[in-house]
């Protein structure tokens, strides 16, 4: 039986979702992305960042999601291990 809670515990899933959403928003609705950027990012920080920083952050999240696949998350590994043991009849 597939446990739907286990994939939601992975960092890589959350990072790839955030990166995809940010990149999709920036590419499909650039005016809305610019309005959100102006609303959420303080003026001091915007002065330090280049104009394409939003896209770079999106790509950074996607790269981080790939790197996160290689990080072992103890809680997720323990949950999968316990589920496998339970499925084999071990208590």
If phi > 0 it is left, if psi is from -120 to 50 it is alpha, else beta; for residue 30 that is: alpha
Residue 49 placed within a domain = yes
Can you give the residue range of the structural domain that contains 34? 9-87
Residue 2 placed within a domain = no
Q: What is the pLDDT of residue 12?
A: 78
Residue 4 placed within a domain = no
Structure-model confidence comparison of residues 45 and 76, the more confident one: 45
Q: Quick: pLDDT tens for 20-55.
A: 898 888 889 989 888 988 898 899 998 998 878 888
pTM, two decimals, is 0.61
How many structural domains does the chain have?
Answer: 1
Q: Mean pLDDT over residues 77-81, rounded?
A: 71
pLDDT of 1 strictly over 70? no
Residue 3 placed within a domain = no
Residue 51 placed within a domain = yes
């Amino acid at each position: 039986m597939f446990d739907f809670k286990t994939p939601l515990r992975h960092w890589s899933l959350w990072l790839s979702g955030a990166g995809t959403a940010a990149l999709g928003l920036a590419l499909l609705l650039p005016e809305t992305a610019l309005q959100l950027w102006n609303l959420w990012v303080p003026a001091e920080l915007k002065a330090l960042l280049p104009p394409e920083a939003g896209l770079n952050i999106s790509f950074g999240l996607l790269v981080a999601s790939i790197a996160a696949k290689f990080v072992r998350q103890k809680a997720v590994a323990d949950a999968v291990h316990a589920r496998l043991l339970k499925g084999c009849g071990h208590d």
